[in-house]
Amino acid sequence: MKNQQVIIGIMVAVVLLGVGIGVMGTRNKKTNISPIKEVKKEEVIPTVDASVKVELTPLSGNKEVVLRIDGILQGTSTIEYTLSYLTREQASQGVIGTIKPTADEKSYEKRITLGTCSSGTCIYHNVQGAISVALKFTGTYGEKIFEKDFTLE
């Protein structure tokens, strides 16, 4: 009888141990369900209307250009510009900056060096092909964009 009690006790202990392991296993088990990620839509910025005219004129053997913007929209607070191009060495280069027109300014002209200058010494880029101009106008109307490729002659 004592042997039966020992065997029953061992069986109960094994069953309880098995149930305990099973419960612990389900608590620590990771599911393969991935959380739903919020998909952000890219904001599309509208283009400026045809009243905005942009010119890019080469100077000094294509070492500099003049960026001219006519028809600046009323309420414009900033115009961010990016000029990007390839050099003869096939390196991608560019110039970035910000223009802050006055409230009544309808035209703006800026001389831009195609290269780098430091301490009075300039190293000019040998531009190959077109220069891509991107302008982002920001003002009371929101944001508008202008993009065009210009070829230096």
| 9-65 residue pLDDT tens | 555 555 554 555 555 555 555 555 556 666 666 778 899 989 999 999 999 888 999
Q: What CATH code is assigned to 53-151? A: 2.60.40.1940
Better-scored residue on pLDDT, 1 or 130: 130
pLDDT at site 60: 81
Q: Which two tokens stand for residue 59?
A: 């100077």
The tens digit of pLDDT for each residue in 101-124 reads 998 899 999 999 999 889 989 899
Q: What number of CA atoms fall less than 13 Å from residue 47's CA on the CB side?
A: 9
The CA distance from 153 to 150, in Å, is 10
pLDDT at site 89: 86
**How far, in whole angstroms, is CA 4 from its chain's centroid?**
76
**How far, in whole angstroms, is CA 82 from its chain's centroid?**
13
- Per-residue confidence at 6, pLDDT binned at 50, 70, 90? very low
Query: How much is the average pLDDT of 75-93?
Result: 94
Domain range summary for the chain, segments of one domain joined by +? 1-29, 53-151
Strand 121-124 versus strand 115-118 pairing type: antiparallel
